[in-house]
Chain A
């Protein structure tokens, strides 16, 4: 046969396959539905997973990516991490600012959970002793009034800046700025309030009261042991070096022997981001795996229906073989049917997946992110499934003995 004849043959076999699918509309639609659901589910699940990942990443980035957080205490992975270890001091913070290269600001934090009162209202919150640079380092913006300044710091003034949640709890109707609140018997004047940061992670970042570090040390808690020490680095690429320098400096200052474990830990937002996105990736993979099972079931549906079709059309296959169809012509015809089923099912599944993701976003309010790679992958897998699960029925058809097939009723 000439090359052109071969092409004509393949084109005609394809149109025979399409017509045969069109003749069995209900069956074709139901078989496709399996693939549509499978592909759609993969796309929606991956979109939900990716959306969650993007949302977590944005929250973490909101905390500042060029931030190192030094906490007192031994290894983070140790069995007990005591929160009252008093190894990190304000002097450490000053030393880091003075001696480590690339450090823009340090924001030491000294804090405890206490009850705070305003007239008859009271609330449990965290009181943090901080320096004026704290707000910039931690990406907080002021809503009203002013932030703590150097003068407050120098004079250990009893002034406070309130987080958004505290404002809501203590001052549901009145303006907070200018009022006086009571913290452990001391009167503090409210000089400013912060913009809300919204929920992110376990702790409410808006449920806190900020007072000058010196006031916290001298008047309120009587200790200079820091809870955490945030260090802002100039650029992200200097993080690793700065982290090493801070570690070396603190070990020197704490007079740790070479073999001793550090009595502090340094964490970076980058690490947090990495571990959070690793968790999200696992989550996404799990969702996608569950969805992939339904795609697999769709493929088995194709195989099932193609096997039925081959049995039903045994006589037709016999007729075609008798008048000169070769085994590969029969194989091609049936394989085209299964690939068209999975291909069109895949395309409709992509549409269903994109639509489904939008629906999930608008109905459930979850963030979704549709990745073009997941669309390509789901569609590609669907096509592959069409070939894979179509091959067995097609081979069964092409291997039929024409004499037996012609006798089939």
Chain B
């Protein structure tokens, strides 16, 4: 699903060059459930931005779903984000003036897709919020907002879900609910990459990657991949 080879990212800070990622090689098979950990400044945010096609590596290659995306232009990357990646953010990032249903349908607008409302309702049903379709985010609890965000992430049925501290703003019980949804998506074959700084959240994943100073310092197979996920190394099984 994800193959990184010699991935580097450097930033120019005044006259100083900061190496956020120092030549990373990584393979995440289709259907995996991976957690990324590390203190701030470890390069995990940079990695998430590159994995999410919001940013491009300075050097090296990023192969997503069999396609090398490291050299694509902005519009092509926007298309990849729309079709292949579902984002879940710590601060939800919903549009306040739009209803839950409209927020969920947003990716479909940019895809020029048909049956938008019907598909958005179905996505809301998957996160058990079909009765909140007409509510605005400001009228919802944090857990509900994050479920709306997850519905938005899965509406285009992307093969990859990227979650950046998805439980960071939630209490522990609500966090469990959210993590259950990720578990379900994972079992259905979606590749899930979760960034967190909490060990017990990371332990929900099969594999934990620890970063420090722009390098991968620990690659831990926390639990055995599920039977279905193990077979999902071949393309086609996830989506």
Contact = CB atoms under 8 A, between A and B. Distances in A.
A377 interface: no
A322 B82 CA distance: 8
Interface stretch (A136-144, A203-211, A326-334): A326-334
A402 interface: yes
Contacts of A320: 106, 110
B54 A325 contact: no
Contacts of A323: 81-82, 87, 106-107, 110, 152
A9 B116 CA distance: 11
B78 A319 contact: no
Contact of A322 (B74, B83, B93): B93
B89 interface: yes
Contacts of A402: 54
Interface in B136-190: 152
A169 to B, nearest CB: 76
A328 B110 CA distance: 11
A406 B149 CA distance: 15
Interface string B74-111: 11001101110001010001110100000000110111
Contacts of B89: 406
Nearest to B109: A12
Contact of A403 (B54, B74, B83): B54
B113 interface: yes
A316 B112 contact: no
A327 B75 contact: yes
Nearest to A16: B109
Interface in A9-30: 9, 12-13, 16, 19-20, 23
A13 to B, nearest CB: 8
A324 B93 contact: no
Contacts of B94: 319
A5 B113 CA distance: 6
A402 B98 CA distance: 20
Interface string B46-57: 000100101100
Nearest to A402: B54
A1 interface: yes
B110 A322 contact: no
Contacts of B75: 326-328
Contacts of B55: 403
A406 to B, nearest CB: 7
B74 A327 contact: yes
B112 A322 contact: no
B57 to A, nearest CB: 14
A146 interface: no
B222 to A, nearest CB: 29
Nearest to A1: B112
A324 B79 contact: yes
A372 interface: no
B50 to A, nearest CB: 10
Residue picked from B111, B112, B152, most chain A C-beta under 10 Å: B112
A325 B109 CA distance: 9
Interface residues of B, number: 26
Contact of A6 (B54, B81, B93, B112): B112
Contacts of B97: 19-20, 23
B112 A319 contact: no
Contacts of A175: none
B93 A319 contact: yes
Contacts of A358: none
Given A323-B107, A324-B111, A316 B78 contact: no
B95 A325 contact: no
B87 A322 contact: yes
A321 B74 CA distance: 10
A315 interface: yes
A9 B78 contact: no
A16 B89 CA distance: 23
Interface string B29-57: 00000000000000000000100101100
A315 B112 contact: no
Contacts of A406: 89, 93
A81 interface: no
A399 B61 CA distance: 25
Nearest to B92: A319
A99 interface: no
Contacts of A9: 109-110, 112
A322 B89 CA distance: 11
Nearest to A329: B110
B44 to A, nearest CB: 14
A402 to B, nearest CB: 5
Contacts of B110: 9, 320, 323-326, 329
Nearest to B110: A324
B93 A326 contact: no
Contacts of A76: none
Contacts of A316: 95
B93 A321 contact: no
A1 B111 contact: yes
Interface string B110-124: 111110000000000
A395 to B, nearest CB: 14
A401 to B, nearest CB: 8
Contact of B107 (A2, A315, A324, A403): A324
Contact of A319 (B49, B52, B95): B95
15 contacts: A2-B112, A5-B112, A8-B114, A19-B97, A315-B93, A323-B81, A323-B87, A324-B79, A324-B81, A324-B111, A325-B78, A327-B75, A328-B75, A403-B54, A403-B55
Pairs A-B, 4 closest by C-beta atoms? A324-B82, A5-B112, A324-B110, A9-B112
Given A324-B81, A326-B110, 4 more contacts: A5-B111, A13-B109, A322-B81, A327-B75
